[in-house]
Structure 1
Amino acid sequence: METKRHYGMDWLRIGAFGLLIFYHIGMYFVPWGWHVKTPHPLEWVQIPMMATNSWRLPLLFLVSGYASAALSAKLGAPGPFIRSRSARLLFPLAFGVLVVIPVQPWVELVTQHGYAGGFLHFFRHDYFRFGTLAGIVLPTWQHLWFIVYLFAYTLLAVVLLLLMSEAARARIADGAARLLEGWGILIVPLAVWMAILFAFPAYPETHALVDDGPNHLHYLVPFFTGWLLRVRPVLFLAVARCWRTAAVVAIASYAYVSWAIWAAPGEGPPPAGVVTWFMAIRLVQGWAAIIALVGIADRFWNHDHASRPMLAEAVFPFYIIHQTAIVLVGYWLLLAGMGPLFSFAILVAATIAACWVFYLGGRRVNWLRPLIGLQRVTGAQLSVSLSGIGRGEANWRS
């Protein structure tokens, strides 16, 4: 089924990954555990971090579900679809685990666990131990867990495509669209999230794929909602009906979440098996924010711009390199004893510069392009791409 390109979803994807970069910069300053930390964490940083904490990752899975459905429709069969997704996801994953990621656990081991070896020693003797060191599993995919999960959900989608006839898929899509029409797009997925929360209260998030069942259920909801938005675009009418209300609900929920953190700083987790108001309202904030953002993208951002193709193409390389840049620069700032204000400014500038260097440098070398999430192209196509005139037709696929 051919559907007109939705530029608003392109911009939403670009914005979501951009926010992810700033969120991970914030992880250097917030009291929560992370790979490298400022020696004096700032309690108040939790408040702005919680503005996106509940929806940033589900939103990425939603736009990825939409993108996956668009690519599936374009290629027309499960075979070409899975081959395309494998090339676009597995090559960058392997490159990331082997080349981009290793400095992250090394910095964490040095700064938080007293590891005395240099990076080359760590890489040669410890990174490929296929075990744990100071509780860190090595080798590791770190922030690239998103690619692993996205590929797993892609495989699940392909299995469903293969098991069902086209008529059966249409009936299921029609039934799901009827369930989500009107206010259902806001209520039904949130109800599923709540059911998961009460069925698996206080479940940990491991990012280890095989032991993360409740979180897979949590992320599959937005992934297949995004897929359904693509195959049944009439659902954008449902989003248009309720996105303003969803925005108000998201803001009110965030106000409660912020107040709860401010009123009880440093409060530990609840007893195992207990569901708190904080957990439930955080889910309300998350899904309401997603619907509000999809509505805003549909209403105000559904138009093209000359910068969109390059930004859409750059998103995946930015994602691959950004956390390693943050961790490495954060390590240098830690050694220099830099204060929080200058540290933040340096982290933002250095991370953005590293992302652009990684993308602009890698896109010029054809054999490197698949490793940083870009398609290989012919010599003529490469020249067009480097001139900035490319259509970016395949950029949405990553």
Structure 2
Amino acid sequence: MERHYGMDWLRIGAFALLILYHIGMVFVPWGFQVKTAHPMAWVDIPMLLTNPWRLTLLFVVSGYASRALATRSATIGAFVRSRNARLLPPLLFGMAVIVPPQTWVEVVTQHGYAHGFWRFWTQDYFRFGTLFGIVMPTWNHLWFVVYLWVYTLALGCFALVPGADRLQRAFDIAFGGGRAIWVPLAFALVTQFWLFQRIEDTHDFFRDGIAHLQYFPAFLFGFGLAGSRAAIDGLKRWWAVSAALAILCYAIIAGMLVAWPDFGFPSHGVAQFHKFVRELDVWLAITALVGAAERFLNHDHRWRATLAEATFPFYIIHQTVIVVVEFWLKPLGIGAGAEFAVLVATTVAGCWAFYLAGRQIGWLRPWVGLKPRAARAVARYHAERPIDVRARPDVA
């Protein structure tokens, strides 16, 4: 039995891409908390390489990681309690301390708010209402933590249903071999293109139903995938085909954007074709990445455990660093290229500083997404011991 290091690397890479994507959001014409003085439309094209599938991939790898955590828990209740302890403190801390600078920059630069940050934080942010149409306090980029927490609770409740332990065998039958690609792909096309037209996520949990139809099944698929040798083997076998088709989809999407900048498609039929290809790209890219991780990345490295631990703190702090640094950079007029270089360097440095400080300050660890010191030795033991979550098909 071997630990699946490939999925660890995929999780690390997925969050690294997310951070780079959010830096890119400063430069494209799409909405963001702060924008460069001269947005560049051509940046849309490299951004669309990951735009269709980056968030769905995060839920797949989170579901896979949740299965690994469930195998280490004595009961499903213990698993849910551990997830509560890991997700809720960073969410609350993030909403109270990490996110407010982003919101302040947004209201200053886009709505003409005239007061400083301290006045905003102490008198306006905790209004439990709206200001300039923005709900405050808000979770901004931490919406992912909210969704993941609710999905985990739903999974815990579902696991208590009599007969849930037999679902892994059903998963193997439904998604074994190439069906791990084509069955979820068909489901995505039906729910995201045929029955409903998914335009843009709201990140409002109660008004984001179409997104839930993609993210929650992706989370459950990752959870089931962790216990399915048949599905893993199928993704490993067909990863190159998935990758080739995903690249073709991206080429079509990029070509359409070159022909019709800013998604100004000439007809409804062309717009529908774009949406269809985009939905194909989502699952083809994810299955290619998971299959490639199984095929090429299933090995350890001395940096893996550290990077895996740092991923969640990086996620919590990265967008605030990006927004605040760009707010300082914009008046300098140094140009988009220099802005991008500074943003990459300062975001990486800020994320590492946040992680290292949080790691050393014992009481701060749970609030920045790290296990308490008492659990650290146990976590390291589990990170280094041979473990294969697929060897526990009874956990569902």
Q: Which of 355, 372, 393 pairs up with 2:383? A: 393
Q: Secondary structure at the match of 1:5?
A: coil
CA drift of 1:221 comes to 2.2
2:67 maps to amino acid? A
Q: Secondary structure at the match of 2:203?
A: coil
1:184 maps to amino acid? R
Aligned residues of 1:201 and 1:272 also touching (Cα < 8 A): no
CA drift of 1:394 comes to 9.5
The equivalent of 1:288 in structure 2 is 284
Residue 183 in 1 paired to residue 183 in 2?
A: no
Q: Say if 1:150 and 1:81 are closer, same or farther in 2 by CA, change over 3 A.
A: same
| 4+ residue runs over 3 A deviation | 267-275, 389-392
Q: Which of 226, 230, 240 pairs up with 1:244? A: 240
Aligned residues of 2:265 and 2:271 also touching (Cα < 8 A): no
Aligned residues of 1:202 and 1:273 also touching (Cα < 8 A): no
Q: Which of 239, 249, 257 pairs up with 1:261? A: 257
Q: Secondary structure at the match of 1:144?
A: helix
The equivalent of 1:120 in structure 2 is 118
Aligned residues of 1:313 and 1:392 also touching (Cα < 8 A): no
Residue 215 in 1 paired to residue 205 in 2?
A: no
The equivalent of 1:194 in structure 2 is 189
Q: Which of 122, 146, 166 pairs up with 1:171? A: 166
Instruction: Write the distance in 1 (CA, Å) between the matches of 2:373 and 2:146.
Output: 25
The equivalent of 2:43 in structure 1 is 45
1:195 maps to amino acid? V
CA drift of 1:233 comes to 2.9
Deviation digits for residues 310-364 of structure 1 (CA, Å, limit 9, x no counterpart): 1010000000000000000010111222200100000000000000000001100
Q: Which of 235, 239, 242 pairs up with 2:231? A: 235
Aligned residues of 2:171 and 2:228 also touching (Cα < 8 A): no
Deviation digits for residues 261-315 of structure 1 (CA, Å, limit 9, x no counterpart): 1111123589999971111111111111111111111011101111111101000
Instruction: Write the distance in 1 (CA, Å) between the matches of 2:384 and 2:351.
Output: 20
Q: Secondary structure at the match of 2:29?
A: coil
CA drift of 1:10 comes to 0.3
1:218 maps to amino acid? Q
Q: Which of 77, 88, 93 pairs up with 1:95? A: 93
Instruction: Write the distance in 2 (CA, Å) between the matches of 1:290 and 1:357.
Output: 31
Q: Say if 1:237 and 1:40 are closer, same or farther in 2 by CA, change over 3 A.
A: same
Q: Say if 1:343 and 1:201 are closer, same or farther in 2 by CA, change over 3 A.
A: same
Q: Say if 1:5 and 1:291 are closer, same or farther in 2 by CA, change over 3 A.
A: same
Q: Say if 1:275 and 1:160 are closer, same or farther in 2 by CA, change over 3 A.
A: farther
Q: Which of 304, 307, 313 pairs up with 1:308? A: 304
2:178 maps to amino acid? W
Residue 84 in 1 paired to residue 74 in 2?
A: no
Q: Say if 1:270 and 1:53 are closer, same or farther in 2 by CA, change over 3 A.
A: farther
Q: Say if 1:94 and 1:274 are closer, same or farther in 2 by CA, change over 3 A.
A: farther
TM score, norm. by length of structure 2:
0.93
The equivalent of 1:132 in structure 2 is 130
Deviation digits for residues 194-213 of structure 1 (CA, Å, limit 9, x no counterpart): 11122221444111111111
CA drift of 1:19 comes to 0.6
Instruction: Write the distance in 2 (CA, Å) between the matches of 1:270 and 1:324.
Output: 38
In the alignment, structure 2 segments of 5+ residues that lack a partner are 388-396
Instruction: Calculate the aligned-residue CA RMSD, in Å.
Output: 2.3
The equivalent of 2:16 in structure 1 is 18
Q: Say if 1:362 and 1:176 are closer, same or farther in 2 by CA, change over 3 A.
A: same
Q: Secondary structure at the match of 1:10?
A: helix
In the alignment, structure 1 segments of 5+ residues that lack a partner are none
Counterparts of residues 2-17 of structure 1 (less than 5 Å): 4-17=2-15
Q: Secondary structure at the match of 2:383?
A: coil
Instruction: Write the distance in 2 (CA, Å) between the matches of 1:107 and 1:96.
Output: 16
Instruction: Write the distance in 1 (CA, Å) between the matches of 2:196 and 2:297.
Output: 37
Aligned residues of 1:78 and 1:158 also touching (Cα < 8 A): yes
The equivalent of 1:339 in structure 2 is 335
Instruction: Write the distance in 1 (CA, Å) between the matches of 2:347 and 2:382.
Output: 24
Q: Say if 1:374 and 1:43 are closer, same or farther in 2 by CA, change over 3 A.
A: same
TM score, norm. by length of structure 1:
0.92
CA drift of 1:182 comes to 2.1
Instruction: Write the distance in 2 (CA, Å) between the matches of 1:334 and 1:275.
Output: 35
The equivalent of 2:349 in structure 1 is 353
Deviation digits for residues 92-120 of structure 1 (CA, Å, limit 9, x no counterpart): 00010001000001101111111111101
Aligned residues of 2:198 and 2:211 also touching (Cα < 8 A): no
CA drift of 1:11 comes to 0.4
Instruction: Write the distance in 1 (CA, Å) between the matches of 2:203 and 2:246.
Output: 26
Instruction: Write the distance in 1 (CA, Å) between the matches of 2:115 and 2:153.
Output: 40
- Residue range with higher mean Cα deviation, 106-115 or 270-279: 270-279
Counterparts of residues 312-331 of structure 1 (less than 5 Å): 312-331=308-327
Instruction: Write the distance in 2 (CA, Å) between the matches of 1:142 and 1:271.
Output: 34
Instruction: Write the distance in 1 (CA, Å) between the matches of 2:103 and 2:274.
Output: 32
